[in-house]
Amino acid sequence: MTTGTTGVPPTDATRPDDGPSLFGPDSQFHTFFDDPRWALGLIRATVLEAAHPQVGAALADNSTFVTHPWRRLRNTFLSMRRMFSADPAVREREAARLNRLHARMSGSDSRGRAYDAMDRATRAWVVATLFESAVTMCRLSGQPLDQDTMERMYAEYRAYLAALDGDADELPGDVNDFWPYFDRVVENELENTEAARIILYRLFDHLPAPALLDGLPTLWAAGRAVAGPVLGAITVASLPEPYRRRTGLPEMPGAQALMQGAYLAAGLARFLPEGWINAESVIELLSLSPGSDDPRARTVAALRGRMKRASSLLRLLTPLGDDPAPAPATRAGEDRRSAAEFFRQVLDQTGDGHLDWPDLAAMARELSTRLDLDEPEETRLYDAFAAWWRELQAALDTDGDGRVSADEYAAAVPSLAGPALIRVAEVLFDATDRDGNGTIDADEYRALFRTAFHRDLATTDGTCGRSAFVSDFLSFMSARRTSTPYDPLLADA
């Protein structure tokens, strides 16, 4: 007997013989979800994942973690919540979605080595880094896990892998056998990959502001200039010593003490009243934009006003010119981006300086995630974006290298509203119109944009027809309009 499509025996995957469910609120994982230490541990785990050649290559080719890190954080958070849900149907649905997403990621790295995001051993390593980093964060914060708790948490992570792969055979069956496995991979397989270097030395130094702080470049740059190097130093110091030694990662003097202090300080959160720190609320707050219909938007707007005054004062005292000043805000739809701005902010989703299929696939992935699409709607959306990529490639790839550069895009000054882009808009409308009544109501619209209508709902019935929706989408994508609902969806970090 199995649970749905995953083929996982219920006794092995969801409930140990002598304890409560491995998923849901009774899980050890659940107790860590709102733990500030997990922020440090997750960064560490991400570097260890990216150091694996297969994961590093997949991240470099397909991920938006450099250009859209806050979006990536929000989506990862939501996925983990679903995968550790107490409801088996929620877990199976999310596992199926992740498997469809990973099945679309394969290729070869810069050395010609093939990678496949569905490789079972590689997926096991990703889960292994999460478990090992959770154990390490507890140890570094002076609260090491006892053996029983560690064994239970290891069973939870093996159940997580089983939910994805149908079994957890790629990970050792016993936690005592896990440590030799982990050490072996660190010693023999991890490399100083481009993706790992980007996380350690580029992401922190160039981290874009979240929506909450958008428009405050001076204030954000000042804080980032201090926090970026510190986070990088803490992360490097926390990595396994054999990996640091073999890859030649530099370690700042005093980095070990700094790292220990950071974990100890984060561990003090256990003394706060329960519920004071909620990861979901923090991520939602960071994602709030001034036009959001969230009740907290007024407070955010007042806070932004004060922060802008502080930012202006800071600019007078210590001018920082790294970040360009934002364009002045006007009414929705009146500002236009330059071709270079639009290419960088919208089209180049992966941030590699070129437009190719992974960039459009990232758009399809984000839209599918927002709408929580199942098959076949998800495949229809990907197919529509694939057709649009073929159209763009034929029109703009003048040197025939299989991708479109920023110069090729700017030189063509294209009108992108061809038949394939219109088809994307129509498929997106159908996916958003969940009840199939031919119009998108306020709830359906917010499911996609998670912000208020740009129309005045007080004077309309709050619905959006097909032609208006398609027109708005084409206006954004081909006329490079700003201040539309699509900015938080495709342009924001």
Would you give the DSSP letter of residue 169? T
What pLDDT, on a 0 to 100 scale, did the predictor assign at position 483? 55
Least confident segment among 94-108, 297-311, 392-406: 297-311
pLDDT at 452 over 80: no
Query: For 334-381, how does the pLDDT look when each residue is reduced to its tens digit (9 = 90+)?
Result: 477 888 888 988 999 999 999 999 999 999 999 999 899 999 999 999
114, two tokens: 């093939």
Quote the percentage of the chain above a pLDDT of 70.
Answer: 80
Which residue in this structure is represented by tokens 């003097």? Answer: 253
Contact 451, 291 (CB under 8 A): yes
Domains, the chain, in order of start with CATH, read 1-326 (no CATH), 339-491 (1.10.238.10)
Alpha-carbon distance of 116 to 126, in angstroms, equals 13
290/301 Cα distance (integer angstroms):
6
Give the alpha-carbon dihedral of 314, 316, 317, 322, to 10 degrees: 70
Mean pLDDT to the nearest integer, 71-97: 90
Instruction: Find the mean pLDDT for residues 251-274.
Output: 87
Reported as a single tens digit per residue, the pLDDT across 370-411 is: 899 999 999 999 999 999 999 999 989 999 999 999 999 888
| 304 vs 134, residue with greater confidence | 134
Q: State the Cα torsion 86-89-90-91 to the nearest 10°.
A: 80
The tens digit of pLDDT for each residue in 130-146 reads 999 999 999 999 999 99
pLDDT per residue over 221-255, tens digit each? 888 888 888 999 999 999 999 999 988 888 788 89
d(CA 308, CA 304): 6
Task: Give the residue with greater pLDDT, 67 vs 13.
Answer: 67
Mean pLDDT within 135-162: 95
- pLDDT for residue 317: 54
